[in-house]
Structure 1
Amino acid sequence: MKLKLIAALAIAAASPALAFASPSCTAEPKSKWMSEEAMKAKIDTLGYKVKTFEITGNCYEIYGKDKDGKRAEVYFNPVSGEIVQKGD
Structure 2
Amino acid sequence: MDKKINRLALTAIAGAMFLTAAPAYADGNVQCKSGPTKNWKPIARMKKKVWMEGWELLKLQVEGDCYEVYARNESGQSIEAFFHPVTLEKLVVYRRGSEIYRSSNFPK
- Relative distance call for 1:65 and 1:20 in structure 2 (3 A) is closer
Return the match for 1:40 from 31, 34, 47: 47
Match of 2:69 in 1: 62
- Structure 1 position 62, deviation (Å): 0.9
TM-score under structure 2 length normalisation: 0.59
Per the normalisation by structure 1, the TM-score is 0.72
Encode CA deviations 1:49-85: one digit per residue, 9 max, x unaligned.
1111110001001112012211110010011111111
Task: Tell me if structure 2 keeps the 8 A contact 1:22–1:56.
Answer: no
Percent identity between the aligned chains?
27
Which 4+ residue blocks in structure 1 deviate beyond 6 angstroms?
none
Report if aligned partners of 2:34, 2:84 keep a CA contact under 8 Å in 1: no
Structure 2 CA distance for aligned equivalents of residues 63 and 22 of structure 1: 16
Who wins on radius of gyration, i.e. which is larger?
Answer: 2
How many residue pairs align between the two structures? 70
Aligned to 1:24: 31
Q: Which amino acid aligns with 1:27?
A: S
SS of equivalent to 1:79:
coil
Say whether the 8 Å CA contact 1:74–1:83 is kept in structure 2: yes
